[in-house]
Amino acid sequence: MAVNVTRVAHRHVDVDGLRIFYRESVPSEQESLTRPPLLLLHGFPSASHQYRRLIDVLGDRHRLIAPDYPGFGHSDVPTPASAGGDFSYCFDRLADVMERFVDVLGLSRFVLYMFDFGAPVGFRLATRNSDRVAGLIVQNGNAYDEGLSDMARNFIALDRDDPGAEEQVRALLTLPATRAQYEGGTSNPDEVAPDGWTLDQHFLDQPGRSQPQIDLAFDYKSNLRQYGRWQEWLRTHRPPTLIVWGRKDPFFPASGAHAYLRDVPDGELHLFDTGHFALEEKLPEIAPLMADFLDRLSRSGW
């Protein structure tokens, strides 16, 4: 019996002097060339490894590309400007690098998968390159005020100079906090493999890794100032949009998922009884929705 096994390439590419790591599926079907590539933008505190199972499931028919941002995973970790270096760890800069990344790979048009940090990075990429975006898949990636829980609002409101603020951020970089992000809100924690949060913590604990995360945490409030712009972009361009969301996310509640339909009323929304890292528990339900969405885009000529 023939069995299709996804081939995956693991590469580094030079992006303006930074070595950016990425995973890329190598589809076996020639017809995959007629389908839009899918750019997978990861969240905090993870990296491209969070998409390994998704790539295995969809990568034999679709080209999936998952990079690690600077300071994450296997990509370079330039010294932060806040520690005397020349790299500013802010969401504008991460988007700059991802914009150059797609240039270097020659991706003229693609679908964006935006999760967590991937939403502010992805929306910056989209608003700068509207003609490149063939569609959006949004998974617990917020772009609306009502999509912020009280816990998220309180955390985002922290300023670097506030007493004890840095200690609060550092507490989020610990193993219990990392594990809780994966297991919180899940219906069956036994279905969440420990590999994800264990590997995340491995990278977080490496020398020089905490300051980039602290800088990004304090910069997160810059994203809220962009919400209006991103919503206007959605209303203007009306990209084909699939929204898949863990309704028990303690940071980004389901109200943020529903809000997208104000600006993309033809969007397709699916809520799941799980938490923030929805793919960890609900991949068997989410992957077919993604495959159908990508196939419909292919038939439309994207």
* 276 counts as catalytic: yes
Query: Which helix H or strand E contains 269, and what residues bound it?
Result: strand 268-272
Given the residues 42, 49, 74, 276, select the one marked as catalytic. Answer: 276
What is the C-alpha radius of gyration for the chain, rounded to an integer number of angstroms? 18
Asked whether the CA dihedral 283, 237, 37, 24 is positive or negative, the reply is: negative
Residues in the chain: 302
- The pair of three-digit structure tokens given for residue 76, joined into one six-digit string: 């370079």
Q: Of the candidates 164, 170, 135, which has an alpha carbon nearest to the alpha carbon of residue 38?
A: 135
- In which order are the strands placed within the sheet that holds 7-15? 7-15, 18-26, 64-67, 38-41, 110-115, 133-139, 241-246, 268-272
Show Cβ contacts of residue 106 under 8 Å, excluding neighbours closer than 6 positions: none
10 to each of 49, 52, 66, 68, how far by Cα in Å? 11, 11, 10, 11
The phi, psi pair for 40, rounded to 5°, reads: -95, 110
- The pair of three-digit structure tokens given for residue 64, joined into one six-digit string: 């999936």
How many Cα atoms sit within 13 Å of 153 on the Cβ side?
A: 8
Other Cβ atoms less than 10 A from the Cβ of 207: the count is 6
* Residues 5, 115: Cα–Cα separation, whole Å: 26
Helix (H), strand (E) counts: the chain: 12, 8
| Residues designated catalytic | 276
